[in-house]
Amino acid sequence: MNLLRHCLQSPLLLCGFRPFFLLTASSAIVFMGLWLLSLQGWIEAWPIAGGWLLWHAHELIFGFAAAATAGFALTAIPEFTNTKPLGQLPLMNLVGLWLAARLSYLLAFWVTPWPALFFNLIFWLGLLLYISPPVWRDPQRKHISFTLVVAGLAALQTGFFVFLSEPGSALKWLYMGIHALMVLIIVATSRVSMSVVNNRVEHKENTSDPDATPYLARPPRRYLAIAMIAICALAEFTLGAHPVTGWTALAAMAAIFNLLNDWHVGRPLLSRLALMLYASYWLMALGYGLLGAAYLGAPLLPSAGRHLLTVGAMTLSIFTIMCIVSRIHSGLWLDRRPWIPSAALLFITAALVRAYASFYSAATSFSQLLIAAGLLWVGGFLLYAVYLFKTLSTARTDGQAGCAEPIAESH
């Protein structure tokens, strides 16, 4: 009981983003480290159900990205719906479920994959049971799409484990998971991006140039991009490597580029956080472009596009939101030090290097490029861990509770 009481009093449980963003960064380092070791053949003695490739892809989608999703949802949904944040005990239980799910997959060769599926589903269910009621009670239900995508991720993960014994079929469910994450990024960053571009992250009022056009995440363009991504996902799942899949991927690219037109508002776009979110959409569009080109016969593998989507768009958007939320909801103003753009450049470089590794012209350097991309990617999250570990793991110094934003400067 004393141990439980001590755990519940930990600053890590003050708000949902604290444990889950720490898990996001640490899992990125550990998971990528294990993958790089497997590429070198140094851990082949450890048998993984489905093989290391499936484990690598699954854990980065449903482990790393799932932790980031939970951290964002448990912080943003209470703020958006004006409801209470999750308590320490249920938050600790969610963290425990996430950890149990990761361990269960590593042991799945001996204990079967079903415990891994069980813990993952209970994790998603627990998250949905918390975020769905306030979203549903909102008269406008503006954030219902977020919960629907989270439920979709749970369904896709179920399909993956059901077909884990058939690697080709299991990969299809992972590819669908990547597309679902792209939709989630568009849904989740639409409100964050308006605060960032319009300079309202640290101020409730708009403090950007009064003569500049304000940035608005317009629903029609957003819905079109989501629809095109969904069509591409269905085409890839049902048709596989087919020209139709290629054309739908190019349509998704065009829709995302069209979405970028909302961002072209002049000088307000030129802040580093705004540019990082803007770059993540560029990487998303280019990822679908390379995916389409590969399916239409260009001399590259589809993995070039997929890694621009994951190592690039997914990672950069997650990292940017983590940097914002970790500071603002710890009662601190944003970190202005150069490590943030440095880490962003590491992620972008890693994505470009990994994408180039899938071009036929880079075949002779494939292994070296994979290792270089992995190390660059890990480097970005090491910077996050070094600079924000103390913020996530220590008590607030402003006297406020939980997830509260900083006290206004006038106070």
| Per-residue pLDDT, 3 | 61
72: confidence class by pLDDT, cuts 50, 70, 90? very high
Rounded to an integer, what distance in angstroms lies between the CA atom of residue 346 and that of residue 264? 25
| Per-residue pLDDT, 205 | 44
Most confident of 228-237, 255-264, 387-396: 228-237
Q: Average pLDDT over the chain, rounded to whole?
A: 91
The helix or strand, by DSSP H or E, that contains position 157, with its residue range, turns out to be helix 144-162
Rounded to an integer, what distance in angstroms lies between the CA atom of residue 333 and that of residue 193? 17
Buried (b) or exposed (e) across 355-382, using 16+ Cβ within 10 A? Answer: bbbbbeebeeeeeebbbbbbbbbbbbbb
If 0-12 CB within 10 Å is exposed, 13-18 middle and 19+ buried, where does residue 225 land? buried
The 10s digit of each residue's pLDDT in 125-174 is 999 999 999 988 887 778 888 899 999 999 999 999 999 999 999 999 99
The 10s digit of each residue's pLDDT in 358-372 is 999 999 999 999 999
- If you average pLDDT over residues 85-104, what whole number do you get? 94
Do residues 369 and 362 lie in contact, with contact meaning Cβ atoms separated by under 8 Å? yes
* Helix residue spans in 271-360 (DSSP H): 272-295, 303-307, 315-328, 339-357
What is the three-class DSSP state of 332? coil
> Of 65, 68, 26, 85, which is closest to residue 405 (Cα–Cα)?
85
Contacts of 273 (CB under 8 A, 6+ apart): 196, 201, 320, 323, 324, 334, 340
Task: Indicate yes or no: pTM above 0.85.
Answer: yes
Residue 254 has pLDDT above 60, yes or no: yes
| Per-residue pLDDT, 206 | 46
The 10s digit of each residue's pLDDT in 195-242 is 777 765 555 444 445 555 676 777 889 999 999 999 999 999 999 999
> Of 77, 49, 91, 68, which is closest to residue 137 (Cα–Cα)?
77
The 10s digit of each residue's pLDDT in 170-203 is 999 999 999 999 999 999 888 787 777 776 555 5
| Per-residue pLDDT, 1 | 59
Q: Which domains does the chain have, with CATH numbers?
A: 12-198+215-393 (1.20.210.10)
Residue 410 has pLDDT above 50, yes or no: no
The sign of the torsion formed by the CA atoms of 230, 232, 233, 237 equals positive
% of the chain exceeding 70 in pLDDT: 93
